Chain A
Amino acid sequence: MTDNQFRTPHSTFRTTFTLNGTPITLAVDPAERLLDTLRYRLGLTGTKEGCGEGECGACTVYLNGLPVVSCLVPIYQVRGARVETVESLDPATLEPLRRSGATQCGACTPGVVMTARWIDAHRELLHSHTVRELMAGNLCRCTGYDGIIDGIAAGLEGRP
């Protein structure tokens, strides 16, 4: 593939970052996608690959507290940073999404959940944006989004 022909394979560098609250040091190819580091090197398979080009949002993680698509983040960019994945979330906070039918096949779900929890933690966004606008970076092919939007709304209103 053209994207790999122009770099030496298997060159490595040492990087340290914080993953779900724990400092971690790795020797990896600096161009490796954060998504692959998480999934194939560290076994954190909660983060999914849906498209590999930053369109679907299934691989959403927090990088220094901001949601990013980990398929577009080379691990080099993560040095010294704080990374949080779906594995870091408290399952109790997901109950409204569970009740509203926010998940069907589940492949988009970890990314949806990461964005949903981020909206919940940054409610000031709702002064200028609708939940539908804020969720538009996470593609879902099963729910038609109503189950997701309803679950986020229930969570914001403190309903179970």
Chain B
Amino acid sequence: MQRLEGLAKLTGRERYVDDLPLEEGEFLWGATVRSPAPRGRITAVRFAPDVDWSQFTIVDHRDIPGPNFVALIERDQPVLAADCVRHVQEPVLLLAHPDRMSLRRAVAAVTIEVALEPPIFDFRAVPKLEQIQYGSDNVLKHLSITKGDVERALAAAPIVVEGTYETGAQEHVYLEPQGMLASVEGDVVVLRGSMQCPYYVLKALLAPLDRDEARLRVIQTPTGGGFGGKEEYPSTIALHAALLALKSGQPVKIIYDRGEDMAATTKRHPSLVRHRTGVTADGRLLAQDIAVVMDGGAYVTLSPVVLSRGIIHAAGPYACDHVRIDGRAMFTNAVPFGAFRGFGAPQTHFANERHMDRIAARLNLDPAELRRRNLLRDGQTTATGQVINDGTDRVAVLERALTLADYHAKRAAHPRFNRSESTRRRGIGLATFHHGAGFTGGGEVALASRLHVAGLPDGRVEVRSANIEMGQGTLTVFTLLASERLGLEPGDVVIAAADTARVPNSGPTVASRTSMVVGHMVEIACDALRIRLGLDATARGEAVRTAIRRWHRAHPNATLLAEGAYQRPPGIAWDDATYSGDAYGTYAWGAYVAEVEVDLRTYDTRVLDFVAVQEIGKVLHETLARGQVQGGVAQALGWALLEECRWQDGAMANAQLTNYIIPTSDDLPPIRVAFLENPYPFGAQGAKGLGELPMDGPAPAVLNAIAAATGADPCIIPLTQERLMEIVERGMRNAEFHGEAQ
């Protein structure tokens, strides 16, 4: 089966939010006026006298019918700043006008005056008293994991290896910028736009617009990439567009241009991770002491849960009896950081996998052998005490990657190559890692997700869920799952638009949960439909179609619905108070190998070969699954080598694709992908989550390869050419970079 909407996308027929047919004059363009200052009191909003402001719809915080917050974990982030601002780019005022050019000029003709107060930009520094803006210490969230007795184990360990690792922010660069169209249709405020989570948007609209769900409707339009960047941020744009539409009485379309999108929306959390690890001389892990600090930015957004996933993955897929992980997300006056593919885990995996290579170097051990000795075996426990007993041979995942990459032969051959070359250096590196699929701990239970499979009068079935297509293949996978479960042709399955007026809340399209968790709910609903029709469990194909048509003849004008609700897999227990137990229902396991060549004249790193092996339960669709891995690897290699956010006053100064560099086709080698399968009984057809896993491994694998190639010990990403030059030529490590992060 081919990607369902593939031809529409290839021919340009797919209609994204900015492509919806609207006649000029029938709608207004909306735009946002933003704070120029990182922190302070708004003292004046000045409108330049040479603009005819009567042509514009102008909205500020006083136009919000209800309370002024964007609902998320906390209610600290205003829809529009009222008295004070906490970061540059914070929305203060909204404008709408029929002509986009006039609107752009008007935005520049508004001046927001701010009486500056002392901001804080460095999340690693202890805040001064006058910089404290959250609680008593600027800590947005503090979480810790304790297993065994780390201090005693470290004191007794024959060898202790320490390391400090840093990761930078990353911009999503979904190719379709953020956008939303709001209209008032009768008594209902309708939002159409690019988003991952229609029900997040709906919930965010409720209080500020002072409306109940019956007078709100959110419809996802085909979404040109998300990667987490369209998880929480679209709620803000939806509120802005809705406020302008309500005040003007006309539909309002807000489309961010690339510069605004990069400067004003969320990014991946920067991190600083410290490791202190006790090991035996033959490389067994005795104790892992890990401290994780993340930059949360100026509002809480999703930082507590990003931190949570980060620390849960911080000790890696290894067995160790004594583990302590301390995690803090810090308030700063930076544009808030948010969800991004991997959700904290890529940061902590980067640190842990670089650290494993540092341990291997200290012990003079092959990095592959160090991992082979410590990878979790069935019956052993993770840092949170979760017993892993899934039957997956994690060492076999590693061995497969080593074989495909020709690791041992290349590792043996590189020193000779490097001795014979004056300016080229080759090396090979690896990373082994895991990623928990679905919401953490009791999160999936709290979501209480449900969806419908409807039998249509013509005998087809319709899947009604709130999970959306953003390129990862939801439409195709749900079609495949429903058709195979019921023995129907793919053409007999319709996937309903993600429209809150028509589909139940099956939860957000995040956390690698859509195929595994929601896909399984599609299967449950298909089974429920059979029962509803009085069919036995073996009924397939024509028997199902006939029964649906017969039901409709017997129940004219009625709706034939079957529900699939989330069912917690048995034997799962999580304790949020002690942060222990089964953090995730299951994990996918990966082993990635990178081979690089570094040019010592330019410090350009060329990835010569990349092998990505992962055990993901079941491959639902070969082309889609491979595409997820290749795309994730590319995005992670960009994060590792190229993508550097430059900061000014806590906002991105290089908010352009001209100087924020993402990989092109010519920057990457073919990414070689292999899957191992060990079906997970509670995922669709045995599938486990895949979307985020490929973000975890590439950065440490490629830095380990660079370390092997150059003999340097780089512990910071992005490892740009300039940074690598400093490290190789001046023997610098991390500390020297501390001053430049913000």
Q: Is the CB of B657 within 8 A of A141?
A: no
Tell whether A98 pairs with B10 under 8 Å between CB atoms, given A45-B15, A56-B175. Answer: yes
Most buried by A among B7, B99, B226, B666: B666
Q: Is the CB of A98 within 8 A of B7?
A: yes
Output the least CB separation between B178 and chain A (Å).
12
Output the least CB separation between A140 and chain B (Å).
7
Most buried by B among A46, A135, A136, A146: A146
Tell whether A106 pairs with B9 under 8 Å between CB atoms, given A101-B624, A140-B175, A141-B174. Answer: yes
Q: Is the CB of A143 within 8 A of B10?
A: no
Instruction: Indicate whether A139 reaches chain B with its CB closer than 8 angstroms.
Output: yes
Instruction: Indicate whether A121 reaches chain B with its CB closer than 8 angstroms.
Output: no
Which residues of chain B from 460 to 480 have any CB-CB distance to chain A below 8 Å in the complex? 470-473
Q: Is the CB of B668 within 8 A of A145?
A: yes
Partner of A107, one of B15, B225, B259, B627: B225
**Chain A residues with CB under 8 A of B104:** 1, 4
Partner of B657, one of A5, A55, A102, A146: A55
Q: Is the CB of A53 within 8 A of B657?
A: yes
Q: Is the CB of B12 within 8 A of A87?
A: yes
How distant is the Cα of A23 from the Cα of B105 in the complex, in angstroms? Answer: 34
Instruction: Indicate whether B710 reaches chain A with its CB closer than 8 angstroms.
Output: no
Instruction: Indicate whether B577 reaches chain A with its CB closer than 8 angstroms.
Output: no
Q: How many interface residues does B have (CB within 8 Å)?
A: 66
Q: Is the CB of B176 within 8 A of A48?
A: yes
Tell whether A109 pairs with B174 under 8 Å between CB atoms, given A53-B656, A55-B657. Answer: no
How distant is the Cα of A45 from the Cα of B9 in the complex, in angstroms? Answer: 11
Output the least CB separation between B501 and chain A (Å).
25
Q: Is the CB of B257 within 8 A of A94?
A: no
Which single residue of chain A is at the shortest CB-CB distance from B107?
A: A1
Instruction: Indicate whether B6 reaches chain A with its CB closer than 8 angstroms.
Output: yes
| Interface contacts beyond A9-B101, A48-B16, A107-B225: sample of 15 additional A-B pairs, CB < 8 Å, sorted by A | A1-B108, A50-B176, A55-B658, A56-B175, A87-B11, A98-B3, A101-B623, A101-B624, A104-B471, A105-B223, A130-B666, A141-B172, A145-B630, A148-B665, A149-B665
**Residue ranges of B at the interface with A (Cβ–Cβ < 8 Å):** 2-3, 5-16, 18-19, 21, 24, 99, 101-102, 104-105, 107-108, 172-177, 222-227, 257-259, 470-473, 623-624, 626-627, 629-635, 656-658, 662, 664-668, 670-671
Q: Which 10 A-B pairs have the closest CB atoms?
A: A46-B12, A105-B471, A107-B224, A106-B9, A144-B630, A144-B634, A104-B471, A107-B175, A45-B19, A55-B657
**Residue ranges of A at the interface with B (Cβ–Cβ < 8 Å):** 1, 4-5, 9, 39-40, 43, 45-53, 55-56, 58, 85-87, 89, 91, 94, 97-110, 113, 130-133, 135-149
The contact sample of 18 A-B pairs, CB cut-off 8 A, is A9-B102, A39-B18, A45-B12, A49-B257, A50-B258, A51-B656, A98-B2, A102-B10, A103-B10, A105-B9, A105-B223, A105-B224, A106-B8, A107-B224, A133-B666, A140-B665, A144-B635, A147-B623
